[in-house]
């Protein structure tokens, strides 16, 4: 899937700061960050819809999203915790009154916290 | 609230046998229903979606009917292949809403 690219694909961290990047080439105006822990469904962390942020209130404050433009999405992580070990997926969709919510996912960034 | 409940996995089948993965949902709105499939090392991808009640969706031999009365959307395939081994997620999105609610997923293992 080259329509949504994520980087880095793999990262191993101690208690450090890191940013994940995502870019979509689908012309969508809604972008998402999902966290997927082992053998669990994707869990929504953040949603940017027409650049308005909607936040899952259970997400720790050390996760900070940024949407510099409609095709790019960043996730800044500070002082990672072992419970943050997971695969982080970027996704996008086209919003609007006729939207049927179909998501397109990237390939994911696998974070391992030592 | 909005939620999805599906067959707990893993489901292990032999090639050529039939598959049913049950999915039931709860919502007060008029949702679009989805089946997503996730292969190892990849992100989920749409298998098919059905936006209207009493209609059927299908793709790659899989099918499901949006049953509004029973609030169900069961996934079926007549004859599974080893390449169908993956995790299948039933999901819904309330009408005109960007939020998608996933079930817990059902891992399918197909043995040759």
- Cβ atoms of A46 and A33 within 8 Å: the answer is yes
| Interchain CB contact of A100 with B (< 8 Å) | yes
- Cβ atoms of A11 and A111 within 8 Å: the answer is yes
As a whole number of angstroms, the distance between CA B58 and CA B50 comes to 9
For B95, the closest chain A residue by CA position comes to: A100
- Cβ atoms of A28 and A93 within 8 Å: the answer is yes
- Which residues in A lie closer than 8 A to residue B107 (C-beta atoms)? 39
Place of tokens 């609230």: B1
- Cβ atoms of B42 and B101 within 8 Å: the answer is no
Reported as a single tens digit per residue, the pLDDT across B65-81 is 999 999 999 999 999 99
Reported as a single tens digit per residue, the pLDDT across B23-79 is 999 998 889 999 999 999 999 999 999 999 999 999 999 999 999 999 999 999 999
Neighbours of A105 (CB within 10 A): 24
Q: ∠A77-A82-A84 over CA atoms, to 5°? A: 45
- DSSP for chain A reads --SEEEE-SEEEESS--EEEEEEE-S--SEEEEEEE-TTS--EEEEEEETTEEEE-TTS-TTEEEEEEETTEEEEEE-S--GGG-EEEEEEEE--STT-----EE---EEEEE-
Predicted local distance difference test score (pLDDT) of residue B38? 97
For A55, the closest chain B residue by CA position comes to: B99
Residue A52 CB contacts under 8 Å (≥ 6 apart), including other chains: none
Instruction: Point out the residue among B36, B98, B103 whose CB comes nearest to the CB of A99.
Output: B98
In the predicted model, is pLDDT for residue B83 greater than 80?
Answer: yes
Best of B8, B94, B98, B102 to disrupt the A interface by mutation (most A CBs within 10 Å)? Answer: B98
b/e A71-90 (16+ beta carbons within 10 angstroms → b): bebbbebeebeeebbbbbbb
A102:B49 CB<8 A: yes
- Cβ atoms of B102 and B87 within 8 Å: the answer is no
Predicted local distance difference test score (pLDDT) of residue A100? 66
B98:A101 CB<8 A: yes
If chain A, 114 residues long, is cut into consecutive pieces of 10 residues, what is the mean pLDDT of each piece? 85 84 93 95 91 86 92 92 93 72 91 89
Predicted local distance difference test score (pLDDT) of residue A7? 92
A41:B89 CB<8 A: yes
For A37, the closest chain B residue by CA position comes to: B104
Structure tokens that stand for B103 in this block: 């079930």
A101:B97 CB<8 A: yes
pLDDT higher for B105 or A95? B105
As a whole number of angstroms, the distance between CA A74 and CA A7 comes to 10
- Which residues in B lie closer than 8 A to residue A104 (C-beta atoms)? 46
As a whole number of angstroms, the distance between CA B85 and CA B42 comes to 13
In the predicted model, is pLDDT for residue B93 greater than 60?
Answer: yes
B99:A44 CB<8 A: yes
Predicted local distance difference test score (pLDDT) of residue A16? 77
B98:A106 CB<8 A: no
B→A contacts (Cβ < 8 Å), by residue, are: 32, 34, 36, 41-46, 49, 51, 89, 93, 96-100, 102-105, 107
């Amino acid at each position: 899937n080259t329509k949504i690219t994520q980087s880095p694909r793999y990262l191993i961290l101690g208690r450090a700061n890191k940013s994940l990047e995502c870019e979509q080439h689908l012309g969508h105006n809604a972008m998402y960050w999902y966290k997927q822990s082992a053998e669990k469904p994707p869990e929504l962390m953040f949603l940017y819809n027409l650049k308005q942020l909607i936040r899952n209130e259970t997400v720790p404050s050390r996760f900070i999203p940024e949407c510099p433009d409609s095709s790019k999405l960043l996730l800044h992580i500070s002082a990672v915790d072992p419970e943050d070990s997971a695969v982080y997926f970027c996704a996008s969709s086209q919003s609007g009154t006729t939207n049927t919510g179909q998501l397109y996912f990237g390939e994911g960034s696998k974070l391992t916290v030592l | 609230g909005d939620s999805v409940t599906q067959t707990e996995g893993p489901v292990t089948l032999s090639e050529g046998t039939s598959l049913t993965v049950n999915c039931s949902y709860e919502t007060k709105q008029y949702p679009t229903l989805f089946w997503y499939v996730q292969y190892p090392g990849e992100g989920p991808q749409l298998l098919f979606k059905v936006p209207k009640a009493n209609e059927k969706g299908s793709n790659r031999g899989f099918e499901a009917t949006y049953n509004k009365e029973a609030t169900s959307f069961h996934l079926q395939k007549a004859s599974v292949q080893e390449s169908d081994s993956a995790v299948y997620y039933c999901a819904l999105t309330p009408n005109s809403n960007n939020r998608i609610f996933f079930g817990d997923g059902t891992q399918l293992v197909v043995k040759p």
